[in-house]
């Protein structure tokens, strides 16, 4: 059981680390982009929104880190 806990602990620390929003934000942005593709929105619009969302998540994470 110790090895299983260590295995999942490694992957959590590797993927999430200190900033969970940097892990969950891009996943949510990809999900929204997927919904836009399924709704037959133009690809440039979807790509631009994905770029804006991921950039916003990064910017907010930096702002929160500076504030703390």
pLDDT in tens, 6-47: 999 999 999 888 888 899 999 999 999 999 999 999 999 999
Helices (H), ranges, 1-68: 2-15, 20-38, 43-67
Residue 68 reports pLDDT greater than 80 = no
32's CB contacts (< 8 A; 6+ apart) are 49, 50, 53
- The pLDDT of residue 17: 85
- The pLDDT of residue 18: 81
């Amino acid at each position: 059981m110790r090895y299983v806990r260590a295995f999942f602990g490694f992957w959590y620390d590797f993927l999430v680390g200190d900033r969970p929003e940097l892990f969950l934000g891009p996943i949510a942005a990809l999900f929204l982009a997927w919904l836009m593709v399924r709704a037959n929105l133009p690809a440039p619009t979807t790509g631009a929104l994905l770029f804006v969302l991921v950039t916003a998540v990064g910017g907010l994470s930096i702002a929160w880190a500076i504030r703390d």
